[in-house]
Amino acid sequence: MNKIPHLIMFDRIGSAGLGYISVAEVSKNIPFDVKRVYWTYYTPQDVIRGGHAHFELEQIIIAVSGIITFATEDSQGNKVDFILDSPEKGLFLPSKIWRDIKFSHNAVLLCLASKKYKDSDYIRDYEIFKKL
């Protein structure tokens, strides 16, 4: 898996009559050992979250409900927007990617993370990020 932000598609198992299940499994469709899982919810629609990058953390983000928009930028200034509008889609974020995130009112963001939480892994100053 190349180390640029990109969408991955999870298989959709099931049927319209029974409903569906999708699976994230380490080394099958997740390129790192998952050390942490978190989810965010009830984010107001007018709020932009994120506003940071990580020195080392890699993540897979899934909008398990609703629509979540990621505006990403690498430290060279390459910008790509991703719209997570289906629970079949995952967004792979390598380290050192700035992200600004918007949520629909019903959005639930699920994150699979490669490392435990460490505040010192956050880069919250955009000017410092651009100098990486």
Determine which residue in the list 12, 14, 50, 118 makes contact with ligand TYD, applying CB under 6 A: 50
Does residue number 14 form part of the binding site for ligand TYD (CB under 6 A)? no
Does residue number 41 form part of the binding site for ligand TYD (CB under 6 A)? no
CA dist., res. 32 & res. 35, Å (int): 9
122 Ramachandran zone, left/alpha/beta (phi>0; psi -120 to 50): beta
Window 80-119: residues binding ligand TYD (CB under 6 A): 117
Question: Cβ 51 to ligand TYD, closest distance in Å?
Answer: 7
Determine which residue in the list 38, 39, 41, 126 makes contact with ligand TYD, applying CB under 6 A: 38
Q: By CB under 6 A, which span of 4-12, 34-42, 58-66, 88-96 interacts with ligand TYD?
A: 34-42
Does residue number 49 form part of the binding site for ligand TYD (CB under 6 A)? yes
Please name the residues in contact with 14: beta carbons below 8 A apart, sequence gap of 6 or more. 20, 21
Strand stretches in 1-132, DSSP E: 6-9, 13-15, 19-21, 36-41, 49-54, 59-65, 68-74, 79-84, 89-93, 97-103, 108-113, 122-123
Enumerate binding residues for ligand TYD (CB under 6 A).
36, 38, 40, 49-50, 117
